[in-house]
Structure formats: structure tokens, C-alpha cells
Amino acid sequence: AQSVTQPDIHITVSEGASLELRCNYSYGATPYLFWYVQSPGQGLQLLLKYFSGDTLVQGIKGFEAEFKRSQSSFNLRKPSVHWSDAAEYFCAVYSGSARQLTFGSGTQLTVLP
């Protein structure tokens, strides 16, 4: 069965600093991978997704993620964090056989002024 691990429960960065959120997945076939963001009191919003092709994918709000098959990772990055990026971030993998998304536990991002 597929699984997603986000090793960092909580990350704190200063505004303007770079950011990397880690995601590792377990899936037997070529994965479909996603990053979602959840602001306080809100639902999940899709940041970006990887299906195939270029392993570096660009998303909304200046985020990007890189798929590394050898490391089973799909880490999310942003070169310069803004205070409005404070939120919880979820990595997810789609299982074609189960036809459902499996989510990680999330990483809470705090941005210091």
C-alpha cells in the first residue's frame, strides 16, 4: 500500500529565507504526487502536482518541487518565504489501483517577521 511521510511536523523560518519541506513516499509504480496547502480555517488548496516529464515542477505562489525517484522524495521549495505562506502543507500520492489520494501528516510552517 502507498504511504507518505513528512518528517518535519513543524518548521519555523524567517521571512525572506528559503524553505524546503520534505516528503517521502512509498509506492510501487510511477507516482502521481501533490502538494496541498491549508491556511487556518480553510480547506486544502493545490500548490502543484507531478505526473510525468520534467522532475522539477512549478506551482502557484512561487513554490516548486522536485521529484527524485532514487530517493522516493518530492520536496517542496520556495526561495524566499513571505509571511502569508504560514500554513500547513500536505504532501500526497495518488494510487491508481485504489483510486484515491493518500496524504502525509502535514508540516506546519511558521514564518517569523
**Hey, how many other C-beta atoms are within 10 angstroms of the C-beta on 7?**
11
C-alpha cell at 106: 502535514
Told to check if 75 binds other proteins by CB under 8 A, we report no
Binding residue for other proteins (CB under 8 A) from 15, 22, 32, 73? Answer: 32
- In the complex, the smallest distance separating the C-beta of residue 21 from other proteins, rounded to whole angstroms, is 15
When binding is defined by CB under 8 A, the residue of 21, 23, 44, 47 that contacts other proteins is: 44
Q: Select from 17-25, 31-39, 53-61, 66-74 the region that touches other proteins (CB under 8 A).
A: 31-39
Residues 71, 84: Cα–Cα separation, whole Å: 30
Residue 30 makes contact with other proteins by CB under 8 A: no
Euclidean distance between CA atoms 94 and 51, whole angstroms: 10
Q: How far apart are CA 96 and CA 92, in angstroms?
A: 13
Is residue 97 within the footprint of other proteins (CB under 8 A)? no
- By CB under 8 A, name the one of 11, 19, 86, 101 that touches other proteins: 101
18 or 100: CB nearest other proteins: 100
Task: Tell me: does residue 34 bind other proteins (CB under 8 A).
Answer: yes
The DSSP code sequence of 70-113 is GGTEEEEEESS--GGG-EEEEEEEEETTTTEEEE---EEEEEE-
